[in-house]
Homo-oligomer: A and B are copies of this chain.
């Protein structure tokens, strides 16, 4: 779960990158980093925190140059997390390089093991660093050649932006798991995880990079290359269900519209004997609106969200109350009182949060609560970059829908079908990765990495 942005050939490149990251902040709030190239050297800053906390005026002034990339990252906690913060910056025989990565590789341990056996040393535990090592080993005179040779050895999900001394390079894995779009700001190329970053800058969305495409940008010019591997696209639908901003176009489709269609489809597939439709804000908003329109049931904003929630809050010492969900959401009793409610959300993970929200709506006065989920049951962990828990923590992995309903104490529960979801987004069904719902992993974790993960679960997590 990360957002990346890059721009080539513009004055104030780091400031524009900062604004791009600002628009991508929803993709990761833990750490932020920017690298710029001023023609002579790389400058960089990365730190824990939101983009607006890390980059003050002075910090941006210390990042001069006409080429920049940036990264905003969500990650599981740990003591040395700052060391895994991106961009990763290194020095090689072809000069300084900096790299940002959205996605997850599935064979980093295997490659790392091989490289360590050849005497390579690693600074981070991130899978991203192996790409730089492979590049350095490739030793081609032209940076893009080394980059492509490196990418042909890794497998998994990656949208990448690389700064070299003479160009900026963008690459998307052959399956195109994660999004990556090309924009144009006054004739200069820019790249972003989502098009909403271009909207903020006033850049024009040119197109998505194709799966397996590598784009070299130098000044106002771009050249396109293609990785050798041939595979089918496996685009992550979860971007549409939950992750992307509604005002972005992802895989060429408006996220807001695909969510509206998911909601409408859900209304047809799983109607409910109810009086009102209530979204779980903010993620369920568009789907709820689609449900409302299709069903004819009025939409009510029966749950409000506290937008001033900080990163932590402190419970009273002897508290028996649990403020976790209440700090974010509050029911509007006047709208819920006596009503049979269709509650619309995008997913159920462990079930504990959903249970609290259902209870909150009921205590807010609802007569009945019918939970509708705008995607199928999440049953499998993601290996391609979405931060889902391990399998046996996913409630749908080992419970029936009726068991889940009982656990979350809803009057009824229904999920959107896989077919319904894919149809709502549009495009060829086989072009999407559906692993988290079906277990159909298009790219398998390497046996070496798999074995390590089983032998040393903690270390695997760390690596």
Contacts and interface: CB of A to CB of B under 8 A. Distances in A.
Interface of A: 11-12, 15-16, 18-19, 22-23, 25-26, 29, 41, 43-44, 50-53, 55-57, 60, 62, 79-80, 83, 89-93, 97, 113, 116-123, 125, 132-133, 136-139, 196, 199-202, 245-247, 249, 254, 256-257, 282, 285-286, 289, 293, 298-301, 304, 306-319, 321, 323, 326-327, 330-335, 462
A143 to B, nearest CB: 13
B50 A62 contact: no
Contact of A44 (B41, B80, B301): B80
A409 to B, nearest CB: 18
A328 B186 CA distance: 23
14 contacts: A12-B318, A16-B316, A19-B323, A23-B306, A50-B310, A51-B310, A52-B313, A53-B310, A97-B121, A119-B120, A200-B330, A201-B321, A245-B330, A246-B304
A335 B301 contact: no
Contacts of A299: 289, 299
The 5 closest A-B pairs by CB, nearest first: A52-B310, A119-B137, A254-B334, A25-B308, A93-B116
A199 B330 contact: yes
A137 B120 CA distance: 7
Given A122-B91, A289-B299, A332 B62 contact: no
Contacts of A308: 22, 25-26, 29, 50-52
Contacts of A80: 43-44
B314 A43 contact: no
Contact of A121 (B55, B132, B201, B246): B132
Contacts of A83: 89
Given A22-B308, A200-B323, 16 more contacts: A15-B317, A19-B313, A23-B330, A25-B308, A26-B306, A55-B314, A92-B119, A92-B122, A118-B137, A121-B133, A196-B304, A200-B326, A201-B321, A246-B301, A285-B301, A286-B301
Interface centre among A29, A50, A122 (most CB of B within 10 A): A122
Given A25-B308, A330-B247, A256 B122 contact: no
Contact of A56 (B133, B314, B330): B314
Contact of A120 (B18, B125, B136): B136
Contacts of A247: 304, 330-332
A306 B25 contact: yes
A317 B11 CA distance: 9
Nearest to A25: B308
Contact of A332 (B117, B246, B310): B246
Contacts of A12: 316-319
Contacts of A122: 90-92
Contacts of A15: 314-317
Given A306-B22, A318-B12, A326-B200, A120 B123 contact: no
Interface centre among A285, A300, A311, A332 (most CB of B within 10 A): A332
A52 B121 contact: no
A303 to B, nearest CB: 8
Contact of A123 (B57, B123, B309, B319): B123
A307 B120 CA distance: 42
A11 B319 CA distance: 10
A257 B293 CA distance: 21
